[in-house]
Structure 1
Amino acid sequence: MADIADHRHYPQGVPSWVDLEVPDPASVTDFYARLFGWEFHEAVPPGAPGSYLIGTLDGHDVAAIAPAAASVGRWNTYVACDSADSSAALVRAAGGRVVQDPLDTGPAGRWAECSDPDGAVFRLWQARHRLGAQLVNAPGAWNFSVLITPRPADAITFYGEVFGWEVDADLGAGMVRLPGYGDHLAATVDPDIHERQSFAPPGFADVVAGVEAREGQPRWEVRFAVQDRDASAEIAEEAGGTVVSRGHDEWTKGALIRDPSGAEFAISQFDPE
């Protein structure tokens, strides 16, 4: 087994993990196994209460599924922090709400559930043993989390105060960056990132999340990369899901999917015009 130092670490302010809470985790494992090729193992030690199924792809942790009392499933986005308690205090100071005070999850880490001033729910993750997603941006893996909100400017002010996020006009609409993240990647898991993205505007390597102006209940949308949107959408339907909508922008072909538990997420195929 590789030493923990060889794994992907996430600095404070970078979305680092996603999980799905559903009434019955067993009812959706086959769906995600067929759609993304995930395999699952139980993270909770034998004899301990609860369940936390880690989804892996090519041996790398990519997401998790946990039981919840809610009648409809929900995907959660976690943002890395050095201290869940300190970050929760920043959430309150910036006008947000701490829905669940910080809690330990054994040696894995410490978490809290929060919402921004408009009600979009997100979570804090203070990593210990479980560092976060170890494979991203590959087909079948988490690609991005995007804040859907009717008031993006207000949201960026809030998340800027809590996590240091910025929006630069040169990066294009909806790109949120954390200054210095590209340098972190270059020094750790992606040494060629600056050379590979030399065509892009300054700061592109620092992008950590997205924000889209849209009416309706503010929420964080989780997106997964796929090789072929239409083929993946077909698999989702065959496995018991629903294709809610499809779309195409200048960079990607996407679809909004509803899994058998009612949880919604997006799939995204890189397809520049």
Structure 2
Amino acid sequence: MVPDQQAALDFYCDLFGWQGEIGPPETGGYSVCLLKGKPVAGIMKAMNPDGTVPDPMPPTAWTTYLATDSLDSTLKTVADAGGTVVMGAQDVMELGRMAVVADPTGAVFGLWQAGTFDGAGIVNEHGALIWNELNTGDTAAATQFYGAVLPLTAAPTEMPGAEGYIELKVGGRAIGGMMDLAALPPGVPPHWMPYFAVDDVDSVQAAAVRAGGSVLAPAFDMAAGRMAVLTDPQGGGFSVINATTPEQPE
């Protein structure tokens, strides 16, 4: 969600090789960004539910969406587990149903019940989503909440060099991570962070800066590979990573 949708499209299309344009009025102008002809992300101008421009404009942010088989039952569980419904269930034509909620620690995320649109068509390759990470001030409360509302389990990672990091799993498969806000600069609020896979972290970091973006954490090596934390020119935060795992040897 951004103040200037076209500027965001220009930035991310140039940075990741996406294709995208402002959508038709019946979708509120929503832009589905494509890579190799398949959907990888969405960008929309920030607006109120009635179509008016917010005042003040909310901060630019990426929203992580988690899939659910039943949006209505999941929303009930969100409230029962101490979360907050930020935007209630909405039908998106025949594509699916969505809602936006916050966990008890304050991190906002979306829920998606697929209709004709399943979600990302490409993952885990250059220019596509590879990971989602929850940064929270209370990992115990977050573990309890997400386990209650979705079939997610949390457990410390077994990756050497990443002690203290928590993996979120579905059916035994790691699909995201969680870490304590204490590892980040003071004042950073709870949030979900998207990671995009890139072939060369340093060159993407440099390209983002040339295009008006900023660097929050310069490229560095860590247990899962080489990564950097960046913002786009409108302040939206995201990470890029060249992942090195046993399944993807360096």
For normalisation by structure 2, the TM-score amounts to: 0.85
The residue that corresponds to 1:132 in the other structure is: 119
Q: Partner of 1:269 in structure 2?
A: 242
1:249 alignment partner AA: M
What's the counterpart of residue 50 of structure 2? none
Shift of 1:164: 2.1
Higher relative contact order (CA 8 A, sep 6+): 1
Report the alpha carbon displacement of residue 43 of structure 1 after superposing the two structures with TM: 4.6
1:73-112 residue pairs with structure 2 within 5 A? Answer: 73-112=60-99
Is 1:218 aligned to 2:190, yes or no? yes
50, 59, 65: which one aligns with 2:43:
65
Unmatched tracts of structure 2, length 5 or more? 47-53, 160-164, 183-187
Contact 2:157/2:166 (CA < 8 Å) preserved in 1? no
Residues in 2 aligned to 1:160 and 1:48: alpha-carbon distance in whole angstroms: 36
- The CA distance in 2 between the partners of 1:63 and 1:175, in whole Å, is 23
- Runs of at least 4 residues off by over 4 Å: none
Rounded to whole Å, the distance in 1 between the matches of 2:69 and 2:209 is 40
Cα distance in 1 between the residues matched to 2:90 and 2:127:
30
Counterpart of 1:75 in 2: which secondary structure?
coil
Q: Does 2:13 correspond to 1:33? A: yes
C-alpha distance in structure 1 between counterparts of 2:132 and 2:30, whole Å? 21
The residue type equivalent to 2:45 in the other structure is P
**2:166 corresponds to:** 174
CA RMSD in angstroms comes to: 1.7
* Structure 2 residue identity aligned to 1:230: D
Unaligned runs of 5+ in 1: 1-20, 180-202
The corresponding residue for 2:129 is 142
Q: Tell me the amino acid that sits aligned with residue 79 of structure 2.
A: R
Q: Normalized against structure 1, the TM-score is what?
A: 0.78
Residue deviations 1:59-93, cap 9 Å, x none? 11000110104343110011111121111001011
Aligned residues with identical type, % of pairs:
35
* Paired AA for residue 122 in structure 1: F
Match of 1:192 in 2: none
In the alignment, which residue of structure 2 is the partner of 1:18?
A: none
**Distance in structure 1 (CA, Å) of the matches to 2:29 and 2:175:** 29
Offset of residue 49 of structure 1: 6.1
Question: Which whole-Å deviations, capped at 9, do the CAs of 1:189-222 have from their partners, x for residues lacking one?
Answer: xxxxxxxxxxxxxx3xx11111011234111011
How many angstroms does 1:270 deviate by? 1.7
Distance in 1, matches of 2:177 and 2:190, equals 13
Distance in 2 between residues matched to 1:60 and 1:48, nearest whole Å: 21
Q: Which moved more, 1:67-76 or 1:132-141?
A: 67-76
